[in-house]
Amino acid sequence: MAGEIQLNGTSFASESGGTITVNNGTLGSDVVFPTGHVISFQEVTYNTQTNITATSFTTLLDIMSITITPKSSSSHFYLSANIPYYTYSPDKMLTATFFKDDSDFLGLSSGLGTSGTGGATNVLSKTNLVISYLDESSIPSTPVPIKYSVAFKSNSTSIYQRLFDSGITGTFTVMEIQG
């Protein structure tokens, strides 16, 4: 039996053949979504050519950072970065990882991803370094803003890695996942 639900004469949901359709309405800020749903999404892009020779992780003046305030103390955060770069010298590599509140919270000396040219000589290597991570760290009961950044390092101080070569756009995405 088909039907409809009304409040103050306004129809906001109807049923037909066992399917319920929400016709009108806005979800309030206190709605709780089931575990695993994306409840917040932020992305930054960057495309200014940047050279790096640092051999320890640097966030390069925060060119790829996102500050997000958790909507829930049970949230998790999925981080993903796509970094276009090139190197033109054999055996030179770019390594990337994520920082949280300006610290290397993962503590991985090898980062989350490394890419390089291999052993050939006079090789120009253009590629994308893609990294991702699910941060399941605990969040205070009263959530405070969290700053996530992409950090980079090179294996050489004499030969730079060129990020975002010729204006190619890189992306950094943070998705808050209901925990």
Predicted local distance difference test score (pLDDT) of residue 42: 97
Residue type, 53: T
pLDDT in tens, 76-115: 999 999 998 887 666 778 888 999 999 999 988 788 877 7
Predicted local distance difference test score (pLDDT) of residue 14: 81
- For the chain, residues with pLDDT lower than 70 are 1, 61, 88-90, 116-125
Predicted local distance difference test score (pLDDT) of residue 65: 96
User: Whole-structure pTM over 0.85, yes or no?
Assistant: no
3-state SS record for the chain: CCEEEEECCEEEEEEECCEEEECCCCCCCCCCCCCCCEEEEEEEEECCCEEECCCCCECHHHCCEEEECCCCCCCEEEEEEEEEEEECCCCCEEEEEEEECCECCCCCCCCCEEEECCCCCCCCEEEEEEEEEEECCCCCCCCCCEEEEEEEEECCCCCCEEECHHHCCEEEEEEEECC
